[in-house]
Chains A and B, each alone.
Chain A
């Protein structure tokens, strides 16, 4: 399976099954690399379901009025799409898959600090996911509140809100435990000589992410418990009919859910920060600035939640304050973009699929980020609040950002994870189709959003028809690209040519060990370099 099989010490983690055989050797695995693959398979499954739901919405929006489903059904579809994609795909996505796999290797460790807790995190992730799916099929009907569960609708609708919120609660617990594990791992298990500022920047991003997971997730936990209690006992925390305060729910919800956006984005930025130096064969520009900007984003990100609520009823003072903070949080993000681009200057650039995905990420992230500033300023926000403009901005950040970073990561690290290469030409074709499909799908939403197309509506006036048509066509092109991409990757992982240990001439530790890694990652003590991006 590998080019180093001559070494008798070496056993690939894929072949070593420990105490259990067959499928149990995966379910009972405590090896961070096996757990990472478990997460990846489950997350990809939910991603595919989420994409199918997305395409159903695009079919519905093809023509005004009812096309393939009724309004109520449409509400359930976008709710499930949101819950799946947010709580089960993008929040765990990068940190649970690539964080689990590469964080220990990047810092020269054999595993995370609490391997059994890591396995437990995946188990409860699965339990939470099953609950989310159950909420769709139980007798009261699928929840139709949107993934935000806004009160008072969520406290009064007859659908399965309790099950869906309980699922989100359990999934949050899994996220907390992963974050806890990563923080302890980074503090305790760095190899001798690996100081904080010798770490690669992906662990830095994961470190900042883990603190958000740890400190923000309990707030949504208690909020969802209060929502459940409200539904069960009609307490009146949030329902104005009972004298409650729906704004309170929004505040509590966004105190978590805005930082959660950085749980999605920070690891994505970390991935891009790994890929760009490798394919430019050049030291990252401004190492410390990139490292510290991760912490800055995490810190300031806690204080900007009010920008989701400009039109909900807040004092002017609160609105300009949240607006100011929103502009401030854009600064460290912009620092990263500046540093990525500067790293390429005078580099010897090797145009391979991971690098192209990273470029696509930067392009889409700049569009998503700058439209975020339009939304962050109070005056324009009032105009486009709750329109398709927000949908487009959000998808440019989450799909164009986190999604494309996930694709970049999988193209970058697949040779290491499976010890096999994929077909570059097919990967590039997939990339181009994905990129075109993505922009066709979401860019028209900016335009009709400014013109007044509300989000979450299953109907629209005829004047939006052309844009909706382009958007739907974009959706189908994107799905085609995704199919090509997944096919190429699966084929590569199963039957590709054996990958060398360091196919991209990378300098971080994962490229110094065989592909796929051995069970304990490092059969010899790793040599820790002063500078993780040491290209000569």
Chain B
């Protein structure tokens, strides 16, 4: 489970995760990487310590307006029972079964998958199971069959891919289990997977395919993205 990652979230993303300022989708993919990566566990703990120091040192501009009197609030809080044991976690789906083996999921993704994944076949040996985590991102489990290839595409926003099993490669390199791959809008890329690959991908705006017949998919993808992110609007 602890294969060493070569690609990690940058300072800004990890900082956002620690500060709690990111969307749920981004938090989830970073959390899953952190669970798999001891370096990033260390980094995020250090960032938490620093963030809390800054928090304590900052000057407040505004007082909280606590309506009821504070003594009454404190009395009502301290009449509550305390927790002496962490509750056992409800068991979630922990594994995804592939053709010839199963893949253990990081805890947060196990939770995400616990509502059940609906897999859809896309072209070129790619399977996709979408999950909705918030109104800002599109999140998918992606399974690339051995020898499969995603059509050339670029992104309007950022795409983050966490490799959960197997590997894939593109023009810029080879990515294996635990790797956290960020693609920004200026990348046009064409991922291929020799051995097959299970990933979790988070997009903060839709993909655009740039070549051949795959371009026909664009309007459909945009429609799906809007649907996936239209809750609460």
Q: Do A and B bind each other?
A: no
